[in-house]
Amino acid sequence: MRNVCRAAGSLIGLLVLTMVWTATMRGDRQDFQFVMGTAYYAPPDIPMPKKGGAILDPIFHTTVTRITDKTADKYIGPGIQNEYAKSDPENSDGTLLVLRGNSAAWYLYDARTFKKIRQLKIFDSGGQEPEPRWDATDPKVFYFVNNMTFRSYHTGTKKVAPIHDFSGEFPGGAFLTTGSEGDASLDRRYWAFRVVDESWQLVSIVVYDKQLDQIVARKSTGFLDKVNWVGMDMSGNHCIVGYDDLLFPQILPRDLSKVLSLTTGSNGHGDFARTDDGKDVLVYQNVSNDCIAMSDLTTGKETRLVKIPFTTNPDIGLHFSGNCAQTPGWVLVSTYGSRNLPPGTSKHSWMDTQLFMVELKKKPRVWRIAHTHAYTSLDYTGDKNYFAEAFAAINTKGSRIYMGSNWDDYRAEYSEGYRVSLPDNWVDLLPKGNF
């Protein structure tokens, strides 16, 4: 559900010391200072950088670089950014990006120079969001959906190739979609789709094996609510079914033969991730107990990770990105909300409008990464800019984060794309212990 439980904030509050640790490391930066814990830090007043310009976050010490600029890039619409928190916009060797304009035009960018290469007009003939997903190993290929066809695109040759046309199996279907929230298995073998008709009513959900070019399983009945989205976990062993209103999603094995209902409240924003011992989990905002939590996809057991400080500020919304398979055991959290506090609220919370990593274990470490400088509105009661929710996505390598930000510019639907670079070998260098 792309609009579950909005909230966050930005300034005001007492500055409290938190633990700052220094580690000497290889890479571009020496003596990187890790900021750990849940102390409050006011967002620094930093002017919006120019395209290609980088700023050093003075509090959390990471580098934030602006990727896009409407004037220079001449993209269509009011803004642009990565598609969503759950999908990696970066290809397998870190040289290309796919970004989505806020008016639904899509673009290919050079991830090294930030040059806009071209608009991806190959998507224009489809009646749904194309949901591009990069190949696991070929940096020039991504996959997308177009009406009832699953396709590939080669960025070098500019050739589109059909992979599978599902209209033969589902003659009543009009569109394939995950609901813009799903992803394939990490190796890109297994894919889950909703098949919907021209009125966007569900025909079936389907699990597809790209390697064998065959449908593994399908399911058209027995759902507890209207199906909102589907997706596969990293291993390809589990399919998730998320619902419109039900307070929990359901997990099914790849063959869709049985159903495991997760904990009540687990229908908040969330994403698949992998623990450091290789378990598949769903990490999410539990809207019943107000915690960042994770559930084991095999047992359904929930582990509460971090309490969300709604008692300090009720305006906190969260997105999750668990893409970082090469740095398992962590999930990226991005938060959003208005710049000014809700009426009756005296201060912002420690997690307002920020990026931070949460360790996937009981009593986790929390690594603070950057302020987003993105606000959904100036005043809490003002019109909300959905595209200022940051939607921060970490790449598969766990080395870069992509996000959108309006950087204190409150034009309707405005955002630009930004990249946050993480220190080399951060998993090994992070300080141990609880903070």
pLDDT at residue 434, rounded to an integer:
75
Q: 421: number of CA atoms within 13 Å, CB side?
A: 18
pLDDT-above-70 percentage for the chain: 93
Closest CA relative to residue 421, chosen from 57, 47, 45, 101: 57
Please say if the pLDDT value at position 435 is more than 80: no
Report the DSSP pairing between strands 260-261 and 416-421: unpaired
Please say if the pLDDT value at position 24 is more than 50: no
Please say if the pLDDT value at position 87 is more than 50: yes
pLDDT at residue 433, rounded to an integer:
83
pLDDT at residue 53, rounded to an integer:
98
pLDDT tens figures, 374-389: 999 999 999 999 999 9
Please say if the pLDDT value at position 341 is more than 80: yes
Partners of 23 in the beta sheet? 32
Closest CA relative to residue 112, chosen from 97, 92, 133, 134: 97
- Tell me how far apart the alpha carbons of residues 337 and 61 are, in angstroms, rounded to a whole number: 23
| Tokens (6 digits) for 196 | 């919907």
pLDDT at residue 174, rounded to an integer:
99
- Tell me how far apart the alpha carbons of residues 47 and 408 are, in angstroms, rounded to a whole number: 9
- Tell me how far apart the alpha carbons of residues 325 and 19 are, in angstroms, rounded to a whole number: 27
Please say if the pLDDT value at position 12 is more than 50: no
pLDDT tens figures, 217-273: 999 999 999 999 999 999 999 999 999 999 999 999 999 999 999 999 999 999 999
Lowest mean pLDDT among 16-25, 140-149, 352-361, 371-380: 16-25
DSSP 428: H
pLDDT tens figures, 264-301: 999 999 999 999 999 999 999 999 999 999 999 999 99
pLDDT at residue 21, rounded to an integer:
52
pLDDT tens figures, 126-146: 999 999 999 999 999 999 999
Structural Rg of the chain based on CA atoms? 21
Please say if the pLDDT value at position 113 is more than 90: yes
119-to-76, 97, 99, 129, 144 alpha-carbon distances in Å = 9, 12, 10, 15, 15
Closest CA relative to residue 356, chosen from 401, 295, 405: 401
Please say if the pLDDT value at position 7 is more than 60: no
Name the amino acid, one letter, at 309: P
Q: Per-residue pLDDT averaged across 106-129, rounded?
A: 98
pLDDT tens figures, 169-190: 999 999 999 999 999 999 999 9
Q: What is the mean pLDDT of the chain?
A: 94
Q: DSSP readout, 328-396? A: -SEEEEEEE--SSPPTT--S--TTTTEEEEEESSSS--EEEEEE----S-SSTTSPP-GGGS---EE-T
Lowest mean pLDDT among 11-15, 62-66, 147-151, 286-290: 11-15
Count CB neighbours of 385 within 10 A: 25
Closest CA relative to residue 395, chosen from 118, 119, 91, 148: 91
pLDDT at residue 1, rounded to an integer:
52
